Amino acid sequence: MSRIYNFSAGPSALPEPVLRQAQEELMEWRDSGMSVMEMSHRGRFFSLIAEELENDLRTLLAIPDNYKVLFMQGGATAQFSFIPQNILNGRTRACYVNTGAWSEKAIQDAKNYCEVIVSASSEASKFTNIPDPSDWVLDEQAAYLHYTANETIHGVEFSDIPDSVGLPLVSDMSSNILSRKFDLSRFGLVYAGTQKNMGPAGVTVVIVRDDLIGKSGKQTPPVFNYADQAKNHSMLNTPATYNWYLVGLVLKWLLKQGGVDAIEQRNMAKAELLYQTIDQSSLYRNPVDPSCRSRMNVPFILADQNLDKPFLAAAEANGLFELKGHRSVGGMRASIYNAMPEEGVRALCDFMAEFERTH
C-alpha cells in the first residue's frame, strides 16, 4: 500500500518519528523499568518528563518569565468558561471578536459570566474576512479582548497580532500554535488544545501573564483555577500523564526540525502550493479573502456538489484521508498542520489536478 496522508482537522496526524519513539518506549521509558502510563505523576521519572515539557515549550515560544504555563484538561472548550471565571478580576464586561464558529462558541460561553461586547464580526461576509482592527469597538472598562487566531472551520487566520489598545489580549490558538512565530509578550493569555499541532487530544495549554491571575473568586473550582494550578505545577490533581509525555515528544521533534522559525517556512510553502492549486482551477474554490487565508486549515468547495462524494472516494483510494469539510460549512477541508509533510500536500495537489482533468 502506498503512503497514506491524514488531513484531519483534529485530532490530526502526528509526526511519524514521534509515534515510533512512543512505540519504542511503550513498555519502558529510558531505564525507569516502567511505562510512562504506569508512573506516579509525583515520582522522579515523571517529574523529569514534566520539567522537560515545560522547558521545551518555553524555548519554542520564547515564553517570558512572567508568564505561567499550565497544562489543563477539558479542551479549549472548557477554557471558554475558565477564562472569564479566572481573569474578569472584578470587571463585568469583556470584548470578543467574532470571526467564525470557534469565536461564536467562545462568545456564547463567556455570556454565562459577563457581558460580552462583540467588538467586530465578519458574520455578514459568512466569515470570509477579518474586520479591519482599526474599526473594532473596544471598551476600556472591559477585562480583556478575545480573538480566535485561526478559525479551524472557516479557514481564516490572523497574520498579525491586533492592537488591543491596552486591554489584555487573549487568544485561542488551538489550531495554529507553534506553526508561526509570534510575540508572546503582546498577550495576556494564550490557550490551545493539543490535538492539532502539539500531540493527541487531552491536554490544553494555557500561557498566562502573572498579573492577571490570583484574583478570581472562590466559586471557581481549584482544578479550573489558574493560580491554584500554577502553584501546583498543573498537578493539583492527577494530570493526563501519558498525554503530557506525548506532547513532550512532539515538542522535541519540533526543536529538532529547527523550531518554530523553520516549521513556519515549511508551512508557508505548503499552504502556498495548495492555494495555488485551488486558485488555478475552475473546479475548486476557496471563499476566504486572500489576506486572511489560513495556513493550517484550507477549506474548498467543488463547483458541482454532486462531485463531493466521488471526490472523497477517489481521494481515499489515493491514500488521502479526512478531506470532508466540517458539517456546518460542507465542501472539503484539508488541514495541513506542522506534522503534514510537503509530500502530503503535493500528493493532494496532484490528485486534485487529476480529478479535475477527469471530471
Which residues carry out catalysis?
Answer: 102, 172, 196
Q: Which is nearer to ligand PMP, 158 or 351 (CB)?
A: 158
Cα–Cα distance measured from residue 310 to residue 323, given in angstroms and rounded to the nearest whole number: 12
321-339 burial: b if 16+ Cβ within 10 Å, else e: ebbbbbeebebbbbbbbbb
User: At 333, which helix (H) or strand (E)?
Assistant: strand 332-335
Burial group, residue 73, by CB count within 10 angstroms (0-12, 13-18, 19+): middle
- Any contact of residue 335 with ligand PMP (CB under 6 A)? no
Q: Does 277 bind ligand PMP (CB under 6 A)?
A: no
Pick from 101, 102, 106, 158: nearest CA to 133: 158
Instruction: Determine if 75 is a binding residue for ligand PMP (CB under 6 A).
Output: yes
Toward ligand PMP, which CB reaches closer, 48 or 101?
101
Print the binding letters for residues 183-222 with ligand PMP: x by CB under 6 A, - otherwise.
----------x-----------------------------
Binding of ligand PMP at residue 299 (CB under 6 A)? no
Distance CA 56, CA 252 (A): 7
- SS3 state at 72: strand
Using CB under 6 A, which residues numbered 131 to 150 contact ligand PMP?
A: 148
Name the residue number minimizing CB distance to ligand PMP. Answer: 75
Binding of ligand PMP by 73 (CB under 6 A): no
Instruction: Give the Cα separation of 234 and 263 in Å (integer).
Output: 28
By CB under 6 A, is residue 102 in contact with ligand PMP?
A: yes
Residue closer to ligand PMP (CB basis): 8 or 35: 8
Rounded to 5 degrees, φ, ψ at 160 are: -125, 160
Segment lying near ligand PMP (by CB under 6 A), choices 45-53, 70-78, 110-118, 177-185 = 70-78
Q: Is residue 76 near ligand PMP by the rule CB under 6 A? A: yes
Shortest distance (Å) from residue 78 CB to ligand PMP: 7
Number of residues that bind ligand PMP (CB under 6 A): 11
43: number of Cβ within 10 Å: 14
CA–CA dist 263, 247 (Å, integer): 17
Grid cell at residue 221: 473550582
77 part of the interface to ligand PMP, by CB under 6 A: yes
| Residue 174 contacts ligand PMP per CB under 6 A | yes
Select the span of 73-81, 88-96, 266-274, 304-312 touching ligand PMP (CB under 6 A). 73-81
- 12 touches ligand PMP by CB under 6 A: no
Residue 10 in the binding site for ligand PMP (CB under 6 A): yes
Are the CB atoms for 87 and 213 separated by under 8 Å?
yes
Binding of ligand PMP by 294 (CB under 6 A) = no
Computed from CA positions of residues 162, 166, 172, 178, in that sequence, does the dihedral angle turn out positive or negative?
positive
Residues that bind ligand PMP (CB under 6 A): 10, 75-77, 102, 148, 152, 172, 174-175, 193
